[in-house]
Amino acid sequence: MSTRAPLVLALLLGLLLGVSLSLAARVAAERTPIAATAATAATAPGGGPALAWKDARLLAEVMQRVHDNFVDPVDNHQLMQNAIRGMVEALDDHSTFLTPDEFEDMKVSTSGTYAGIGVEVAAGKDGVSVVRRMPGSPAERAGIQAGDIIVMIDGQAVDPADLDAAIARMRGPDGSRIRLAVRRDGAAALLEFQVERAHVQLRSVAAELLTAGIGYLRITSFTDTTASELEQAVARLMHTHAQKLDGLIIDLRNDPGGVLDAAVQVADDFLDHGTIVSAEGRAADARFRIEAKPGDISNGAQLVVLVNGGSASASEILAAALHDNHRATLIGRRTYGKGSVQTIMPLADGQALKLTTSRYFTPAGISINGVGIMPDTVLDGVEQPPAEMDSSDGATLAQRDPQVSAALQALTSKAGVVAGRDSATRAR
């Protein structure tokens, strides 16, 4: 009896799965006539129910075999989680099932704010290396420096192979304290820091004035705050140069994308009219076309956009919108080529589904999926990441970054660079 109990439970699980699939189809059928037609076809005689039951029974059988025979003990709940993840991730490279922790991390990355100590970190050989500390952050106030190696958090050793776990331990409630042990070059012993966590604003836009009339904007990702950050940065640059800029370099190199609405808003900031992006999908809200509204925050400044193989998704939407509307010249290397849109769908128990729901098209009606965008000017040589904007050697950003130098030269010579107001008129 005891040996048959797990099998019975697994078969019951399969039955429940079949019922839940049927119920899900009925719920979808109540939303749109198209879904109703699909559900009816799936339950037609000689088709759906038998196949659905066979699949559910197979899933239950596989789970039972794994549960009983895998070399190490396995948990049925974890098996089902893995089955769900595998089902979704087999669809394409961008769909996935999110655990509660993964869902929370995604919300942090898109919202632009979290409670923590305010450092960017990377896995190192002996611990977690501080790549950058954010201005005004708890880490800066405590005296932590870029290049420090965090080896212990609250008395527990840091595993460099599990960077996500270290990041999770550094985050926590606003006002709570964390104790860090840090190895620093030149220090004979570990340094100890008591850091009080606080709300940290993730900055996705950095800016500086390269010459008297040319500004530089670097967008590292697209979050809920990117558009407002960019608008404030442009306003500061224009104020520094008596309200008028001749040109702007928008650096999207190694920007993996992010929130679609943020890329749309940034594109709209520089466009007076024209299509920004369109998309096609099965659901009604997955089909859309977004048009620019009048108004250009740069007052017609000439634009050059830097791109490379790490420019993806929302970055490509922005680059294509400015390029296809004859608003910007693209310089660099071919972009990544991610031409799909993912929708985050919250599920029970804090979990979520990140599902590809649309394929998007540039204003010229082109799908860049798997192809990318070829710049107007392709730069030769080894593809390099953007140079750090802060430097202690006294060299300018253009001197330290050859691609910024190429963009600056294009703007100052105006060779092949699209002019704002004139190009907008031609694009009509």
SS3 66: helix
pLDDT confidence bin for 311, thresholds 50/70/90: very high
Q: Which CATH class is domain 205-427?
A: alpha beta
**Is the Cβ–Cβ distance between 193 and 200 less than 8 Å?**
no
The residue among 303 and 220 whose pLDDT is bigger is 303
Tokens 């804090």 belong to residue:
350
**Residues found in the chain:** 428
Q: CA-CA distance, 112 to 227, in Å (whole number)?
A: 12
Q: Where in the chain is the domain with CATH 2.30.42.10?
A: 113-201
* Distance from C-alpha of 89 to C-alpha of 226, rounded to nearest angstrom: 29
Q: What is the pTM of this model?
A: 0.77
Residues labelled as active-site residues = 313, 324, 338
Instruction: Please report the DSSP string for 366-391 in residue order.
Output: ---TTT----SEEPPS---PPPPS--
Name the percent of the chain in helix, strand, coil, to the closest 5. Answer: 40, 25, 40
Question: CATH homologous superfamily of domain 113-201?
Answer: PDZ domain (2.30.42.10)
At residue 46, does pLDDT exceed 50? no
Please tell me the predicted confidence (pLDDT) of residue 51. 58
315-348 pLDDT tens trace: 999 999 999 999 999 999 999 999 999 999 999 9
Digit-coded pLDDT (tens) for 221-236: 999 999 999 999 999 9
Q: Where in the chain is the domain with CATH 3.90.226.10?
A: 205-427
Question: Would you state the pLDDT for residue 302?
Answer: 96
